[in-house]
Chains A and B, each alone.
Chain A
Amino acid sequence: MNSDTPMIMAEQLGKTFVLHNQGSQEIPVFLGLDLTVYKGECVVLHGPSGAGKSTLMRALYGNYLVNEGSIRVYHGGDGHNGEWVDMSRAAPQKILAVRKSTMGYVSQFLRAIPRVSALDIVSEPLMILGEDESKAHERAGELLSRLRVPESLWSLAPATFSGGEQQRVNIARGFSAEFPILLLDEPTASLDAKNRETVTDMIREAAERGAAIVGIFHDEDVRNSVGTRMFDIKPVKEAA
């Protein structure tokens, strides 16, 4: 664990939503935001609802654009051919390359794909990295078992699963490839106590193997048990 090696360096980020079809209303979210995340730490984004926690997370993933600043992410794994990629202005295929091998994102909801089984959804990140199918399925099975998704469901498409089951499939997918950077947006939101504890363990293990983690956790116990540092986000109107 190298806690002095930065993996994400976001500098002077500014984000304002402009709603063109609602009188060009402007909604400022953050301004002048700096965040550095190091290997092996779990930074908890903290702030009231609507402060922009998810917006920041999505910007780090290249899913939302920022109006100002840069989001540099260390991409390339073993340190020899690595490079810094600015997620705020990199070409789409570069952002996809970062997502393929460097950065995983677990959202609150699973975007189920028709006809694709739970096992394949969890295996996919590994398959994309070139892992062979049997090994990818083995790893996917381990994760699904650990998260108590009954084996009878593995071959089914999760569209009909319960919210908690879908969420656990989603978490298994996010953890299957052991990404160097993990973004977790309320991964424990719809889970029971046992599964919440399992996910908490998995997050801690990921940090121990050296992953740089950014998370939003509603649950205070989870926050305290996985977080190594708090990052406060204040609504921009207060800050200004």
Chain B
Amino acid sequence: MNIETTPLLSVQSLGKDYGGKIGCTDVSFDLWPGEVLGIVGESGSGKTTLLNCLSAQFEPSRGKVVYDTRVDGPRNIFDMSESERRLLMRTDWGLVRQNPRDGLRLGVSAGANVGERLMAIGARNYGEIRGVASEWLEKVEIDTNRIDDRPTTFSGGMQQRLQIARNLVTNPRLMFMDEPTGGLDVSVQARLLDLLRGLVTRLGLSAIVVTHDLAVARLLAHRLMVMKDGRVVEQGLTDQVLDDPQHAYTQLLVSSILQP
């Protein structure tokens, strides 16, 4: 991880309300290049709402999300035009959803799922797109013989790996992941975690990972943010937050884990 002077993402007093209720509020942090930030908390703590605002899925009620764009430097993503924001999401960013079916196109082949983002940024040569798609299937450990099969014929773990390949094909700098290992068997989870860890280290990606699984957070994240009732109650170095939690809620969370 490099220490640089401009954060990749700078979040300032971000908040999102649903009617009169707070989804998340007063969230501020910087994410540095190569850094993986984990957001933990129980269901309803606001972590997915926050992720949806950060990744421009939702418009926040207040605050800024400033992203260090390749061409124009730091810009508030909500000051961009819709088309600029779309381009960013299709190229520089990746979004891995908890349910791979929400992040994949189920009606087309695995190869087309991976190739789609390349075509969206102008790739037209069928042979090249297929070649790159096949490379990425290999990197996420999917047999390239399955390139013409639809994702509906894949297991849950394979679908999740396909979703990751689909996102990484444009060499994004920032990945958003919502419970990437949720709903998978433990052995499948381990394989996916190992894969994610390797990819993040090798590609020097930055990532924001929402999870309720503290073991997943420990394995993937450099830094943790703990959320409760829409607010960040504690943040810091991952192992420090998990091993010496300061806030009552974090202490409760850490002490509630069953040891196998």
The number of residue pairs between A and B whose CB atoms lie closer than 8 Å in the complex comes to 58
Which of A18, A19, A93, A116 contacts B222, CB < 8 Å?
A: A93
Which of B1, B191, B240, B244 contacts A115, CB < 8 Å?
A: B191
Inter-subunit contact B237/A114 (CB<8 Å): no
A20-B251, A62-B240, A65-B246 as given contacts; A93 in contact with B3, CB under 8 Å: yes
Inter-subunit contact B32/A64 (CB<8 Å): no
Within 8 A of B (CB), among A53-93: 58, 62-65, 92-93
CB-CB contacts of A195-210 with B at 8 A, as 1s and 0s?
A: 0000000000000000
Seen from chain A, the residues whose Cβ lies within 8 Å of a Cβ on chain B are: 17-21, 58, 62-65, 92-97, 100, 113-116
The count of chain B contact residues (Cβ–Cβ below 8 Å) is: 25
B121 part of interface (Cβ distance < 8 Å): no
Among A19, A58, A113, A114: residue with most chain B CB under 10 A: A114
Inter-subunit contact A96/B222 (CB<8 Å): yes
Instruction: Report Cα–Cα, A219/B22, bound state, in Å.
Output: 56
Instruction: Report Cα–Cα, A197/B32, bound state, in Å.
Output: 44
A20-B251, A92-B236 as given contacts; A64 in contact with B194, CB under 8 Å: no
Which residues of chain A have C-beta atoms less than 8 A from B255's C-beta?
21
Among A17, A19, A96, A113: residue with most chain B CB under 10 A: A96
B116 part of interface (Cβ distance < 8 Å): no
B147 part of interface (Cβ distance < 8 Å): no
Inter-subunit contact B247/A94 (CB<8 Å): no
A21-B252, A64-B243, A93-B32 as given contacts; A115 in contact with B190, CB under 8 Å: yes
User: 8 interchain pairs (CB within 8 A)?
Assistant: A20-B247, A63-B237, A63-B239, A63-B240, A92-B223, A93-B1, A95-B237, A115-B191
Least CB distance from A100 to B in Å reads 8
Inter-subunit contact B194/A94 (CB<8 Å): no
CB-CB contacts of B65-101 with A at 8 A, as 1s and 0s?
A: 0000000000000000000000000000000000000
Instruction: Report Cα–Cα, A97/B32, bound state, in Å.
Output: 13
Instruction: Report Cα–Cα, A76/B161, bound state, in Å.
Output: 39
Which residues of chain B have C-beta atoms less than 8 A from A116's C-beta?
194
Instruction: Report Cα–Cα, A64/B190, bound state, in Å.
Output: 28
Least CB distance from A52 to B in Å reads 13
Instruction: Report Cα–Cα, A134/B190, bound state, in Å.
Output: 26
Inter-subunit contact A20/B248 (CB<8 Å): yes
Residue of B nearest to A95 (CB): B237
Query: Which 9 residue pairs across A and B have the least CB separation, nearest first?
Result: A20-B248, A114-B190, A92-B237, A64-B244, A115-B194, A92-B223, A20-B251, A21-B252, A63-B239
B219 part of interface (Cβ distance < 8 Å): yes
Which of A20, A63, A97, A113 contacts B244, CB < 8 Å?
A: A63
Inter-subunit contact A21/B251 (CB<8 Å): yes
Inter-subunit contact A92/B222 (CB<8 Å): yes
